[in-house]
């Protein structure tokens, strides 16, 4: 099979670099262009990203010349990945969709549009079909598919088997999020070294809203009451979340552990290249998962659950979930979305 050509918009940022890194050696896709803001256009990709963020650029990609993030600047890609900052992402992504390209966006601009699939493939692969509705409405030749906010991607994956099996009613989540979630330069070291910052702008609202869109049907969102408190801690990669959940039907920790451990979904069945064999791993140790030790589980696509126990406050269960904010919570999820739409023939 000839690899499809992928362009990465916003390729010089933290998330953009993670897209490029994950696409290197991808069996179905290859990076044909990297686009970024005017500041970088015309420079080599290596010179634009600097040496700080990624250890080694994949072979050859460092020599790519950075182009403008506009359809006219890029010779016919098959797929567009957008790691653009939310402030500028919306119209640029629309331009690419209008120009006929499938756009997989990590930005929040279009996530809540009713006919833009907000896809976390193990959770709601069936939402992919919304792109047809979207194309009808917009008359575009292309379309936009969004992946969830990092915290939501990790949380919603862990909630899915609970929701399916026991019926989720209420979720309280308190997060401890890594600095890479804020991009580069992002969080100043003076702000976070030996500190906790109990505020991440718009994050709690995103978690509360996106979780319901993901767990719902294409017709309407779920009605789980979600309440989040989001905090930044001095870790590099990996968001770890303390979750308290109430289900309609009683769920013992053992039953929950079983339903999570056994959970597999469309990406596993379709054997998509980026799908981890087990999207959720349940750890038995009393003190795991831990951010630094477990963040790379399943090449960053698996979320690790631990400390499953009864919760007295909601009369439900509580647990810890950890995932890689740049992989499952960003570029990895977006690439898995593209694989899903390729496998489902939404992309020819």
Catalytic residues: 150, 239
Among 60, 167, 198, 277, binds a second copy (CB under 8 A): 198
Angle at which helices 150-166 and 253-261 cross, to 10°:
110
Answer yes or no whether residue 292 interacts with a second copy by CB under 8 A: yes
Report the distance separating Cα 63 and Cα 188, nearest Å.
Answer: 30
306 binds a second copy (CB under 8 A): yes
The single residue among 149, 151, 180, 211 that binds a second copy, judged by CB under 8 A, is: 180
Smaller CB separation from a second copy, 48 or 134 = 48
How many residues in the chain? Answer: 348
Q: How far is the CB of 66 from a second copy (least distance, A)?
A: 19
- 137 part of the interface to a second copy, by CB under 8 A: no
Binding a second copy by CB under 8 A: which of 3, 5, 44, 53?
53
Residue 210 binds to a second copy (criterion: CB under 8 A): no
Q: What are phi and psi of 319, to 5 degrees?
A: -160, 170
DSSP secondary structure letters along 26-91: -SSEEEEEEEE-TTTTTSBHHHHHTTTS-SSPPTTGGGSBPEESSGGGS---SEEEE---HHHHHH
CB 319 within 8 A of CB 307: yes
Tokens of 305: 């659950």
Is 72 among the residues that bind a second copy (CB under 8 A)?
no
Our finding on whether 59 is near a second copy (CB under 8 A) is no
Instruction: Give the tokens for residue 137.
Output: 């409405």
Residues 6+ apart with CB under 8 A from 316: 170, 244, 245, 246, 247, 251, 310
270 sits near a second copy (criterion: CB under 8 A): no
Q: Do 43 and 66 contact (CB within 8 A), yes or no?
A: yes
State the residue for tokens 């451990």: 261
The answer to whether 167 contacts a second copy (rule: CB under 8 A) is no
Of the candidate residues 64, 103, 233, 331, the single one contacting a second copy (CB under 8 A)? 233
Find the shortest distance in angstroms from Cβ 204 to a second copy: 9
Contact positions vs a second copy (CB under 8 A): 14, 51-53, 55, 170-172, 174, 176, 179-180, 184-199, 208, 225-227, 229, 231, 233-236, 240, 242, 244, 285-294, 296, 306-307, 311-314, 318, 320
């Amino acid at each position: 099979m000839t690899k499809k050509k992928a362009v990465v918009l916003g390729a010089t940022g933290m998330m953009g670099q993670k897209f490029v890194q994950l696409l290197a050696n991808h069996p179905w896709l290859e990076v044909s262009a990297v686009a970024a803001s005017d500041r970088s256009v015309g420079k080599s990709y290596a010179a634009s990203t600097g040496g700080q963020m990624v250890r080694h650029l994949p072979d050859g990609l460092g020599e790519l010349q950075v182009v403008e993030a506009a359809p006219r600047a890029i010779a016919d890609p098959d797929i567009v990945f957008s790691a653009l900052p939310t402030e500028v992402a919306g119209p640029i992504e629309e331009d690419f969709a209008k120009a006929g390209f499938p756009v997989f966006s990590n930005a929040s601009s279009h996530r809540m549009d009713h006919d833009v699939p907000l896809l976390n493939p193990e959770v709601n692969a069936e939402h992919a079909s919304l792109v047809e509705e979207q194309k009808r409405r917009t008359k575009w030749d292309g379309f936009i598919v969004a992946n969830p906010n990092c915290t939501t991607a990790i949380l919603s994956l862990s909630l899915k088997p609970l929701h399916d099996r026991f019926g989720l009613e209420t979720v309280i989540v308190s997060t401890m999020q890594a600095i890479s979630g804020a991009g580069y330069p992002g969080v100043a070291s003076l702000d976070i070294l030996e500190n906790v910052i109990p505020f991440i702008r718009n994050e709690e609202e995103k978690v509360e809203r996106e979780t319901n869109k993901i767990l719902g049907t294409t017709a309407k969102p779920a009605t789980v009451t979600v309440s989040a408190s989001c905090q930044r801690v001095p870790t590099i990669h990996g968001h770890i979340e303390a979750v308290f959940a109430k289900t309609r039907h009683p769920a013992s920790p053992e039953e929950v552990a079983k339903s999570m451990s056994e959970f597999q979904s469309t990406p596993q069945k379709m054997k998509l290249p980026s799908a981890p064999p087990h999207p959720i791993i349940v750890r038995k140790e009393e003190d795991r998962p831990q951010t630094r030790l477990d963040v790379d589980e399943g090449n960053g696509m698996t979320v690790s659950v631990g400390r499953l126990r009864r919760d007295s406050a909601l009369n439900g269960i509580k647990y810890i979930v950890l995932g890689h904010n740049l992989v499952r919570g960003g570029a990895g999820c977006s690439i898995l979305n593209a694989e899903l739409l390729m496998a489902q023939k939404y992309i020819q």
